[in-house]
Amino acid sequence: MTETAVYLQPAFILQQQKYRETSLIINVLTRDFGRISLLAKGVRKSKSKTAALLQPFIPLNISFVGKTELKTLTQVEIIPPLLELTGLAFYCGFYINELSSFFLHQYDPHPEVFIAYQQCLSRLSATAPGTALPLMEAPLRIFELELMEYIGYGLQFEYDICNKKPIDASKKYLFNKEHGLVEAEQGVFSGTTLQAVKRKEFIDPTVLSEAKLLMRTVIDSHLQGRPLKSRVVINQIIKTL
């Protein structure tokens, strides 16, 4: 296999794990190569300054080489300005990291997902310390919507395909994995909410509440029973507030 060399690729660290005595294996979201795994050799040595850069939510340029699927990190630098996530926003960041790790296949480029991820972090970093979760939910819903759309799981918010009818603001709907949003008398999502979600307008508390339930239902239908650890952590933190 021919050696690949990539220079100064925009990236964010999603996860990291210790490897042997002094190295790390990092899970990285890149702009042009999708999600990749890199070996960061020797970065845990006491004299290394690189480990401090290989943290989540820091915008980076990275360079790497390698012939196998696991490439070797050769250079890393910060791209200003830094994004500061504090309080609940910090844990919400781990939620979008976990979603990205689950739904994006390795070396499957999605530049539009990278931009959506970057924008979500920027919106979360703009929240003031101590901001309650409901005020952070709009950035999360927007990222969830865009992630699902860009990887092929997007919802049809204009039309009930099963009943061959446009979405009606006065009707109620259920989510069906095979058919999408379907009109139903016992539906839990109002047509008004669905129209607002399509426009990515999350000001009304009812829209926020229903949108959260909708996106959780959609995402869980693709998780195949796998729990999201970040959800558990966020819920535990909220209970202590």
What residue numbers bound the domain in which 219 lies? 88-240
The rounded percent of the chain whose pLDDT value lies above 90 is 80
For the segment 78-83, the average pLDDT, to the nearest whole number, is 91
Mean pLDDT of 189-208: 96
61 & 170 share domain: no
pLDDT of amino acid 241:
59
**What would the mean pLDDT of 102-130 be, rounded to a whole number?**
93
Which segment of 10-14, 68-72, 141-145 scores lowest on mean pLDDT? Answer: 68-72
The CATH number given to whatever domain includes residue 134 is 1.20.1440.120
What is the total count of domains within the chain?
2
The per-residue pLDDT for range 151-197, each reduced to its tens digit, is 999 999 999 999 999 999 999 999 999 999 999 999 999 999 999 99
Give the pair of three-digit tokens for residue 105.
């296949």
Phi, psi at 102, each rounded to 5°: -80, -45
Check the CA dihedral 164-167-168-173 and report its sign: positive
**Peptide bond preceding 81 in cis form (omega within 30 of 0):** yes
pTM: 0.94
Amino acid at 54: L
Look at residue 1 and tell me whether its pLDDT is greater than 60.
Answer: no
Single residue among 57, 78, 99 that ends a domain in this structure: 78
Dist CA 87 CA 205 (whole Å): 22
pLDDT at 237: 80
